[in-house]
Amino acid sequence: MFYLICYDVVKDKRRTKVAHLLEGYGLRVQKSVFECMLTEKQHEMLVCKLNKYLKPDEDQLRFYPMSGHTRRKVVILGLQPEREIDDDAFIV
C-alpha cells in the first residue's frame, strides 16, 4: 500500500530520529512529509518503531493510504522530487 506520511514532532532530537527512520522506508518529498510503499508487515514494524520516538501528548504523525487511482490525481506545483516511489520497488 502507498502511504503519504506527515509528522509534526516538537523536539529536534525526536524529529531527527523520526525523519531518519522514515528515510529508510520511503522518499522525503517535503521537510515533514514522506511517500512510502509499505507491505502490511512493514507498516506494522514502522508504526511500532515510530511509537518509540513519539510523545503522544506533544507529537503527531499521520499515515494517509492512497490508491493508485488517487495517486494519479496528485498535482505537484513547484520543485519536483528527483525520484518517485515505484509500486514495483521494495525495501530490504
pLDDT digits (tens, 9 = 90+) for 49-62: 999 999 999 999 99
Q: Which residues contact 32 (CB under 8 A, 6 or more apart)?
A: 6, 7, 8, 9, 15, 19
> What is the SS3 assignment for 85?
coil
Q: What is the mean pLDDT of residues 15-30?
A: 95
Supply the CATH classification number for the domain 2-71. 3.30.70.240
Sign of CA dihedral 60, 9, 77, 64: negative
Q: 25, 36 in Cβ contact below 8 A?
A: yes
**What percent of the chain clears pLDDT 70, i.e. is strictly above it?**
87
Distance CA 37, CA 11 (A): 27
